[in-house]
Every structure is written in structure tokens, then in C-alpha cells.
Structure 1
Amino acid sequence: MIGRLRAVTLDCPDPGALADFYSELLGMPVTRRDHDWAGIGDGTRPVIDFQRVEDHRAPDWPDPDRPQQMHFEIRVEDIGVAHERVTALGARLLAVSEERPDNLYRVYADPAGHPFCLEFTA
């Protein structure tokens, strides 16, 4: 091992708003918030930081001209309940895959346009 992951940083137009979104989604408290930077973490996992980028150009999954760049894969216990909660927080459903009843996933965009997946495995 060369090193350990400390943080993942996402570019976005509003760091505080995106920190609030992922704080609620992942159950990690907001640990830093200022005009250009916000972060969430719980001390047991790498932190997730959000940095302001003027003229942010959001991904447009699955458009290869504006690729996803990165995404989170988030395992959930109940995909229906998780869907309701993330859309209430401002996520947008992009795609659904229910090909196998024992492995369901859905692709969403967070409020800044970054794709993430919710996955349920029976």
C-alpha cells in the first residue's frame, strides 16, 4: 500500500447544498462549511469534500461528451424507501435496472448533476 484514501472531492456550484444532500444520504455530519468548500465525515471513513467551481459543467450521464467522471455506489436496505428519500432531497432518477430480483440498482443525479447509484442486494 502506498497510502490511504483520506477524502473524495466533488466540484460543484454550491458546496454547502451538496454537503447537506450527502450528509442526509450517507448519515455523515457536515464537518466544514464556508463559501468555497464544505465537507462531511464521521471519523471512521474517508471524508467527502465539495469545492465551489465557477461555471461548473455538470456531468450528463450517459452522454460521453459530458461523462460522469466519478460516482458513488451506495448499498441500501430498501430501494423503494431510499428512492423516496433521495428524490425528496433533490436527487433526480436517471436509470433503473431490475433485471435480477436479487440485485436491483438505480442511477440518480445529485443536485449538482453527479451520478450515484443506489443498490439493493437480497
Structure 2
Amino acid sequence: MPPVAHVRNVVIDCPDPHALADFYARVGGGTPQAEDDDWVVLQVPGGPRLAFQRAEGLAPPEWPRADRNAQQFHLDFDAGATWEEIDAAHEKVLALGARPLDLEDREKKDFQVYADPAGHPFCLCRIEHQEGLD
């Protein structure tokens, strides 16, 4: 069955669309394109098109609490196949303004959870080496 429509953007509300688009461009690549002060688009190379929309007074989710400003979405980033690569990505996202939310049991879960500068959760994930994907 053909789809009714195709996904155009994943839209992320935030207080400062330019700053958050720049953060995600540094994490996932691409160049933010501002359409105006309230809307910035980022085409992540090999990934989705993210749009950042100004939302004054945004109350970020309190991860992992579901009873207060529940998380509505999060982004996962493949950050490498080794924990050394994950550790390097960890240092880089912290330098960009992310803050850790859950770094426990990473070997068991294969991911670590952070908040972006606007408070949205995202994950750095460890990818498994798979034959034929190199």
C-alpha cells in the first residue's frame, strides 16, 4: 500500500532555534539554514531533516519522569563501535553544552542519555560491527 504522505521534518520546539540547530549540526553534521528568526532547518547527512521552531517559555521534560513534562521524543546518534569512541563523543557533546542524564549500565544498554542545551533528551549509542556494513 502506498503511503498517504512522506515525513518532511522532525520539528523540535526550543527557546533559541539558531543555537539548538547549531548544536545538532555539530553533533550530527550538516549546515543549519535559517528561514527566519523562529524557524531553522538542518538536513543531517544520511539522516533526517530536523527543524527547530521557537517556543518561548518551553518547559523541557524532566527525564525520566513521565508525570511532569513527559518526554515526547528523543534522538539517537550512532557514536561508534567501541567504548573509546563513545567516550570521545561524550566529551565532545559535553563541550557543546549537553549534560548527562543517564550514564549508568552503558555496557548492558549500549547507550548513554543526555539533555541538549534546551533540555531535550538524546542518546549516544554504541553500534555493533556488522559484516558488509563497512
Q: How high is the TM-score relative to the length of structure 1?
A: 0.89
In 1: Cα distance, 2:44 partner to 2:124 partner: 21
State the Cα deviation string for residues 26-82 of structure 1 (Å, max 9, x = none). 011112253211111157543100111111111111122121110001111111011
Match of 1:66 among 69, 76, 82: 69
Structure 1 residue 10 and structure 2 residue 12: aligned? yes
Partner of 2:32: 30
Matching of residues 38-77 of structure 1 within 5 Å: 38-41=40-43, 45-64=47-66, 65-77=68-80
Identity in percent = 43
Secondary structure, counterpart of 2:90 in structure 1: helix
- Corresponding residue for residue 19 of structure 1: 21
RMSD: 1.7
The letter of the residue matching 1:58 is P
Q: Contact between 1:16 and 1:33, CA under 8 Å: does it hold in 2?
A: no
Aligned residues of 1:16 and 1:34 also touching (Cα < 8 A): no
Indicate conservation of the 8 Å contact 2:30/2:45, yes or no.
no
Give the conservation status (yes or no) of the 8 Å contact 2:44–2:50: no
- Quick check: which one's strand share is greater? 1
Instruction: Read off the aligned partner of 2:79 and give its amino acid letter.
Output: V
Number of matched pairs: 120
Name the CA shift for 1:45/1:106 in 2 (closer, same or farther; >3 Å). closer
Higher mean C-alpha displacement, 57-66 vs 11-20:
57-66
Q: Which has the larger radius of gyration?
A: 2
In the alignment, what sits opposite 1:118? 124
Q: Which runs of 5+ in 1 are unaligned?
A: none
- CA change 1:4–1:113 in 2 (3 A) is same
